[in-house]
Amino acid sequence: MNPSAYPLEQIAARVGTPFYLYDAALLRDSLRRMAGLAEGAGGNVAIRYAMKANSARRVLQLAREAGLWIDAVSGNEVLRAARAGFPLGADPPVILLTSDVYRDNALEVILRHGVMPNVGSPGQIRQLAQAGYRGPIAMRINPGFGHGHVQACDTGGPSSKHGIWHEDPILVASRKLAADSGLPIVALHAHIGTGPNPREFDGNVRRLVDFFARLLPLFPDAVAVNFGGGIPHPYRPDESAYDLAWLEPVLREAVTRFASVRGRPVRVEIEPGRHGVAGMALLVCRVCDVKETRSNEKGEGHRFVMVDAGFCDLVRPAMYGSYHHISIVGQGSRRAPEPLVVAGPLCESGDVFTRDAHELLDPRLLPCPDPGDLLVLHDAGAYGAAMSSNYVSQGRVPQVLWDNGRATRISRRETVEDLVATECDEALPV
């Protein structure tokens, strides 16, 4: 996204800073290309949107209009998807509920609305049976391989908490427990994540094709196989985008091979999240100050650009050392680049947007802005607003949709009244 293509100052005058700006045209194009994977792979392929990446209602509605299904990870995500128009029930399972632990209203949503659960542990099978559920389930399996863009995002292998381990006796015992509980396993699932090399993704999916081809004969009720998400997104300007055409032949091969193994069609699913939404958003904030420290025996000094957005608004850099490209909009944008550290308003030393994977300061070459200039963090559509918080009682920031030359506020800035609305003084009989 080119910040100069949008009237950022005019929008800021209306909603204040920080705010998220979503480009509907970019989002539609991304969702259309993802939906096109199903047709390009020859049919019998379903594309689920992993809504944890961005659960704004308008984003969900555009995903529905593109023909995508939903992967949800909580009971409330299921209900938000339903409010955006996605049908409930398990025939077909347009919404799949994948969670590691059932908490809050998750079991109630499964029982009341018949949403298909994707179980990742024997304990979840027992919980479903004890709650009285007697419907189809998917089984999430840890295939023993896979990783994330950093180790903290590891989604497959011995260090990953996700799924039921693929080897005997753990898998066999879980399969028997489901059968004894009257829960037919109609779908198999795995998620292997994205590594530093984009082509690792389709390479790992090919490994999953072999993996599931061996497992399918053990699951006679299975009608679908889900390869999870993890399609890469290029966060750095010099990175190449992942070409979805690389994935099409893998999905086509999977459809053909699984049908041959089972003697009947088997639906193949993938569930990308950030790939569809990361690039359609900017986090726009205001430069409040520029200050500096001096070098001494403890280390090198730095020049700090202080902005009004913090890790309560975009946590990925503080949590993972994730890179987000940064632009300056205003008088300072014409200056020669110099090493700058961009930091936020929170009372935390880790409230810095220019960090590396080792959680160290990583100054960025940027033109030094003036106080009052806008600073823009790019590619903020995935796990930005969705992972924002009310730390230090900050209200979550507005989300604005830019569509065909028109700006629409699709969520407002939270107020202190919103923050204290759940506080109560309620006696509990115990």
Give the tokens for residue 328.
């300056």
Question: Measured between alpha carbons, how far is 117 from 99 in angstroms, rounded to an integer?
Answer: 8
Continuous segment of H or E residues that includes residue 24: helix 24-40
In 3D space, the residue among 140, 92, 90 whose CA is nearest the CA of residue 119 turns out to be 140
Residue-level length of the chain: 430
- What is the DSSP-derived secondary structure letter of residue 347? S
Q: What distance separates the 2 farthest-apart alpha carbons in the chain?
A: 72
Q: What's the distance, Cα to Cα, between the start and end of the chain in Å? A: 56
Continuous segment of H or E residues that includes residue 82: helix 75-83
Hey, is 149 helix, strand or coil?
Answer: coil
The answer to whether 271 and 229 are in contact (CB under 8 A) is yes
In 3D space, the residue among 261, 120, 92 whose CA is nearest the CA of residue 106 turns out to be 120
The answer to whether 61 and 67 are in contact (CB under 8 A) is no
Q: Where are the alpha helices (DSSP H) in 216-301?
A: 248-262, 274-277
Tell me which of 285, 347, 368, 424 is the catalytic residue.
347
Q: Cite the beta strand spans of 379-429 per DSSP E.
A: 399-403, 406-411
* Annotation marks residue 285 as catalytic: no
Hey, is 59 helix, strand or coil?
Answer: helix
Give the tokens for residue 261.
């193994």
Contacts of 5 (CB under 8 A, 6+ apart): none
In 3D space, the residue among 242, 249, 252 whose CA is nearest the CA of residue 272 turns out to be 242
In 3D space, the residue among 204, 31, 47, 181 whose CA is nearest the CA of residue 119 turns out to be 181
Q: What angle do CA 117, 120, 126 make, to 5 degrees?
A: 75
Give the tokens for residue 109.
């949503």
- What is the DSSP-derived secondary structure letter of residue 280? G
| Dihedral-angle region of residue 226 (phi above 0 means left; psi in -120 to 50 means alpha; beta otherwise) | beta
Give the tokens for residue 388.
């924002």
Catalytic positions: 347
